[in-house]
């Protein structure tokens, strides 16, 4: 059985994983999920990226939105607002609240996040082993300019959801990452992998944050197996969201080629770009990374499955 390890953020990671399951139905898939986006709201621990993967693969996701639950209602949020209790900019629905209540209760009882995630997945049966990158607290902060000419750090969610990345990000800091340890199972999964994939997730605040946990980058290199990524940047822009803001903060151009070079040949063996970026193939190969141009728009699960199949093909090619 082929053992595949995937580093994943939220929407881009989850939709790719749904395609990968279709393309490789017999594979044993372990997902290392980003927890740098986690936030405490109303006294509850919210893990947006882990939940997006869990709900997407478990059939509970809001299909068009790509995050949160299908058939959601917002009574609790309205009642909180009636008390004047915010933040009102983060949309937590009633069904979603239950997940965060269970998680927070288990954490308060002493369970690590990895055990809590496993317990939540017993309900959702996502068909993959979903591991948080770490059980330790890591929180991505974004440094922005203030009106008085200074700078301040805000939580990633405040930057992304409340400010909608409307101001430039000067720096992105995964606070706590340096002291964090990979969650139980993460390094073992990497060591046992036959192939490691980077889905079209945000290279800075999703995959970059996972790689910032000491030991994970080394674990990938030491696995000695093909590492193949798919570009989240198509035609010089992110397909969804504001990844260009994050790339600018770390001085990387918003192109499929620049993201490949940013990961580098020390990490990546193969890279898929969209067909509109086929002119970038030679430059990526010149950087020592095997590159192919294939359609990379996940319009539906079949399209995501074709992308996953192309990634596995490229992994086979670099192995040979
Ligand atoms: P988030 O945590 O919800 O932001 O999700 P991820 O980090 O997993 O993925 C976000 C990235 O997915 C964005 O940078 C998008 O450009 C990328 N993305 C979303 N949909 C697609 C798609 O259909 N094709 C490609 N190539 N990238 C996509
Ligand atoms: Ca995220």
pLDDT tens across 11-44, in order? Answer: 999 999 999 999 999 999 999 999 999 999 999 9
- CA of 9, nearest ligand number: 1
pLDDT in tens, 131-144: 999 999 999 999 99
Does any ligand 1 atom lie closer than 6 A to the CB of residue 296? yes
Q: Is residue 310 in some structural domain?
A: yes
Range of the domain at 230: 3-38+125-135+179-319
For residue 317, name the pLDDT band (cuts at 50, 70, 90): very high
Q: Which atom of ligand 1 is nearest to the CA of 15?
A: 20
Token output for 72: 């959601």
Q: How close is the Cα of 11 to the center of ligand 1, in Å?
A: 6
Checking if the pLDDT of 277 tops 90, the result is yes
Q: Which atom of ligand 1 is nearest to the CA of 234?
A: 26
Q: Is residue 95 in some structural domain?
A: no
Q: Is residue 73 in some structural domain?
A: no
Q: Is residue 172 in some structural domain?
A: no
Checking if the pLDDT of 91 tops 90, the result is no
Q: Is residue 295 in some structural domain?
A: yes
No. of H helices and E strands in the chain? 13, 14
- CATH no. for residue 224? 3.40.50.10680
CB neighbours of residue 207 within 10 Å: 26
CA distance 52 to 33: 10
Token output for 169: 């990000």
**3-class SS at 103?**
helix
What percentage of the chain reaches a pLDDT higher than 90?
97
Checking if the pLDDT of 84 tops 90, the result is yes
What's the pTM value of the predicted model, to 2 decimals?
0.98
Q: What would you report as the CA-atom Rg of the chain, rounded to the nearest whole angstrom? A: 19
Does any ligand 1 atom lie closer than 6 A to the CB of residue 13? yes
**3-class SS at 52?**
helix
Q: Is residue 187 in some structural domain?
A: yes
Checking if the pLDDT of 47 tops 90, the result is yes
- CA proximity to 91, closest of 105, 117, 73, 64: 73
The phi-psi region of residue 143 (left if phi > 0; otherwise alpha if psi is between -120 and 50; otherwise beta) is: beta
Count of structural domains within the chain: 1
Q: How close is the Cα of 149 to the center of ligand 1, in Å?
A: 33
Does any ligand 1 atom lie closer than 6 A to the CB of residue 31? no
Does any ligand 1 atom lie closer than 6 A to the CB of residue 49? yes
- Are the C-beta atoms of residues 114 and 184 closer than 8 Å to each other? yes
């Amino acid at each position: 059985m082929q053992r595949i390890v995937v580093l994943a953020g939220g929407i881009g990671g989850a939709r790719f994983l749904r395609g990968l399951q279709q393309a490789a139905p017999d594979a044993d898939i372990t997902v290392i999920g980003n927890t740098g986006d986690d936030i405490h709201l109303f006294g509850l621990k919210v893990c947006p990226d882990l939940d997006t993967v869990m709900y997407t693969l478990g059939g509970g996701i809001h299909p068009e939105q790509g995050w949160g639950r299908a058939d959601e209602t917002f009574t609790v949020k309205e009642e909180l607002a009636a008390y004047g209790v915010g933040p009102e900019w983060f949309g937590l629905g009633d069904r979603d609240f239950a997940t965060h209540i269970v998680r927070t209760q288990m954490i308060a009882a002493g369970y690590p996040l990895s055990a809590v995630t496993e317990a939540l997945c017993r309900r959702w049966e996502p068909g993959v082993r979903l591991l948080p990158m770490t059980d330790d607290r890591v929180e991505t902060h974004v440094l922005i300019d203030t009106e008085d000419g200074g700078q301040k750090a805000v939580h990633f969610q405040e930057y992304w959801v409340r400010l909608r990345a409307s101001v430039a990000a000067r720096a992105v800091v995964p606070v706590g990452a340096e002291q964090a340890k990979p969650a139980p199972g993460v390094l073992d999964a990497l060591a046992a992998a036959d192939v490691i994939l980077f889905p079209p997730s945000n290279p800075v605040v999703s995959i970059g944050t996972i790689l910032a946990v000491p030991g994970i980058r080394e674990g990938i290199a030491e696995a000695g197996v093909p590492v193949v990524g798919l570009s989240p940047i198509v035609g010089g822009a992110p397909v969804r969201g504001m990844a260009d803001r994050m790339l600018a903060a770390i001085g990387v151009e918003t192109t499929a080629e620049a993201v490949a070079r940013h990961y580098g040949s020390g990490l990546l063996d193969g890279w898929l770009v969209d067909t509109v970026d086929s002119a970038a193939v030679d430059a990526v190969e010149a950087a020592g990374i095997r590159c192919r141009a294939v359609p990379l728009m996940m319009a539906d699960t079949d399209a995501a499955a074709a992308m996953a199949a192309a990634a596995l093909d490229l992994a086979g090619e670099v192995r040979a």
